[in-house]
Structure formats: C-alpha cells, structure tokens
Structure 1
C-alpha cells in the first residue's frame, strides 16, 4: 500500500508531479518538517503555482496544461524546465509531451514506476531522493534525462 498515491490532480499545469515534491511530503529542503504539507499546485491553498501566477490562460482556466497553449513552451516554462533538468535530472517539457501524447493516466503509471522506492514501494522525493515512508535515501536511476 502506498502512503502517497499519485493522482491526476497532483500533476501541475507545467508538468511537475507534485506527488514527488519535498513540500508535498511535508518537509523543507533543509530536511526540517513543515508546519503544513503542500496539497499540490492545483490546490486552492497552493503557494507554489509558479507558472499559473504569470500566465493569463492558466489563471483564467482556459487551459489545463501548458502544452495546450499556442506558445508552448513559453520562456517561463523553458526556464523552469532548465532548472529541473540541471537540479533534478527531469524535464517538465518532456513530461508535458508525454501527457499530450499518451494521456495523464499513462503518465501516472510511468511516474509510479519511475519514482518507486526499491526498499518499500512508496514514492521517492525528487528533490533529495528520500523515501519518507521508510526514510531511506536512494538514488533514483530510472529514466533520468
């Protein structure tokens, strides 16, 4: 049984999987416990929604994912993607292309396999490679960009 199930509402408009984010697990980057866990970029209380704050189409709910936009990928998404590629070995743009071509359910299946902890089967955090279910740090070598 997974402690954190990956669901469609955890996939942000920019292609980020909020279900593998350190804030979603309830921690800060320095390893300290947060007062409140983030509920993901699509939640009403989200502090993260980086792209949505600056994108008229997302803010107006005209599109669900950035790939639906005529200027995909925009400069903001390219900058965010470059940061995720260099820091975490993953591409938000490639995530979005996968969702566009295969659907979100297939993407979730792919992500479950990609971020599964080899020790306990729960989800590995993209930011620090820690499984917060068994507290093992494990290098995710699957599917890195």
Structure 2
C-alpha cells in the first residue's frame, strides 16, 4: 500500500456534486481516503476566461502503482462526464496525481510530483495540508 495525494478540480455543471461524486469513485476504485482538504474556489489557470474552479485535495492509501492509478483516475474522469477539450479548458472533473510516496515518475503520460506544484498555489496548499509530518 502506498500513499498518494490527488487534486480534484471542476468548473462545469454542479461543481459541488462533481467533487462529491469524484470522492465516491476514488474511495470505490482508487484507494482508501485518509484525509481531504477543505473545498477551495480558485481562479482558472492558463486559460483565464472561464468559470472559477472548485478544488479539493485527497490523501489516499492505494494498492495501485502510479501508472495503474493514472489509468484508474482517467477512467473515473470519463465515467463522471469528462470529455476532451483543450489544454487548461473548462471541465466537469479533473483528477491529478500530485504526489505518490516519495517516488518520482517521468513518462510521456505521467510526471510525479505533478509539474503544476511549482506554478499553482492551491496545489502547494493541498500538498502542505495533506503531507504527513
């Protein structure tokens, strides 16, 4: 079992319900939720002319290795109604793997720690709030 921090974001539809549904899917498919952050409202990153996001961070304990966890969260996004748009565009749900234990991963499809940690304040807050001291 490994600990991973996920970031959830949504800015379309019923945002609070999107977050709640994502949390249910995570608990069911990805791993046991150990802790969550408060829900935060954040300005869009990259493409700024779109609705604000609701974001939440989740610390999970998962039996899945990083690439399998990525496959699972991408499948969850699809089941929750996400469809491809454009980079940093509006979305019903976005689930990012921010950290996975102390492991570093760099593949064409997955980078851990998430590269957005250096650019996005809310990602930093999530990791600070959920990292076990």
Q: Same fold (TM over 0.5)?
A: no
Higher RCO structure (Cα 8 Å, ≥6 apart): 2
TM-score (norm 2): 0.28
Q: Specify which structure has the higher proportion of helix.
A: 1
TM-score (norm 1): 0.26
